[in-house]
A and B are shown apart, each in its own frame.
Chain A
């Protein structure tokens, strides 16, 4: 059995999962901080 497809699949799953987590976390942070900043500016 050729092991490389399994190695590549495991790395792909790990890297895609990590990238998705980081992108989702970054987008959530940016959205929430932008909303909080907008509300603070509106209050002034």
Chain B
């Protein structure tokens, strides 16, 4: 990771990677979405509504992975003072917030025909909603710190990112700790309880949306670095 500590070296990799991630992500997501809507059979229990899984599950994964990325960036910033860590944390936050919002909205829409309700204060739903609020708090805190000191390396934001990671295991184990409406885990590292004829588009949307998420993060990191260059130049010009 320290190989990317030099912003110029990072940009040399990020510039071509952004385009590739966008193209690959779009291609995989289109195959997954079209396959999920037209090529898979309906579920024996849920019928056609099971197709919502192909967008809901990647959104939930990216919402959680985003905060894991923020926590990793926070550790990197606080322990090793990695120069790109704060930029990465601030770039990940709006992307994670967007996918957490998508997860909450698509889950709510899925819940109405399946559970008969748009919302329930179930352990999984509530902990995901808390994750969304944590993202909003992180974004607001980062903006406030930048406004106050003009520094993009606020330690309070990094500590908030680290503390907020406590919510990740709560989200993961919520379906075991509080058995209410949300179903238990269907996919794990050891296998899946979903039939392969229904499961396959999920692989495409999972990697497709993940690549699109990565592309959005890289674009936001590039924007952050460019803004930092402008601010540094303006500071130098005003000091002369």
Instruction: Determine whether the beta carbon of A11 is less than 8 Å from that of B227.
Output: no
- Can you name the residue of chain B whose Cβ is closest to the Cβ of A22? B216
Cβ-Cβ contact count across A and B, 8 Å cutoff: 102
Instruction: Determine whether the beta carbon of B49 is less than 8 Å from that of A7.
Output: yes
**A6-B49, A10-B52, A35-B230 known; A17 and B223 CB under 8 Å?**
no
Interface size classification for chain B: 35 or more
* Least CB distance, A30 to chain B, in whole angstroms: 8
- Can you name the residue of chain B whose Cβ is closest to the Cβ of A9? B109
Residue of A9, A10, A17, A28 with highest tally of chain B CB at under 10 A: A10
Residues of chain A contacted by B49 (CB below 8 angstroms) = 3, 6-7
1/0 contact string of B59-83 vs chain A (CB within 8 Å): 1000000000000000000000000
The majority secondary structure among interface residues of chain B is helix
- Can you name the residue of chain B whose Cβ is closest to the Cβ of A16? B102
Residues of chain A contacted by B33 (CB below 8 angstroms) = 11, 15
Which of B95, B110, B222, B229 interacts with A21 by CB under 8 Å? B95
Residues of chain B contacted by A39 (CB below 8 angstroms) = 229-230, 233-234
* A43-B216 Cα distance, complex, nearest whole Å: 30
**A4-B48, A21-B94 known; A29 and B105 CB under 8 Å?**
no
Interface size classification for chain A: 20 to 34
Instruction: List which A1-44 residues lie within 8 A (CB) of chain B.
Output: 1, 3-4, 6-7, 9-11, 13-15, 17-18, 20-22, 24-26, 28-29, 31-33, 35-36, 39-40, 43
Q: Top 7 closest A-B pairs, CB basis?
A: A32-B226, A14-B55, A25-B219, A32-B223, A36-B226, A3-B48, A10-B106
Which A residues fall within an 8 A CB radius of B?
1, 3-4, 6-7, 9-11, 13-15, 17-18, 20-22, 24-26, 28-29, 31-33, 35-36, 39-40, 43
Which B residues fall within an 8 A CB radius of A?
22, 29, 33, 37, 47-49, 51-52, 55-56, 59, 94-95, 98-99, 101-102, 105-106, 109-110, 112-113, 209, 212, 215-216, 219-220, 222-224, 226-227, 229-230, 233-234
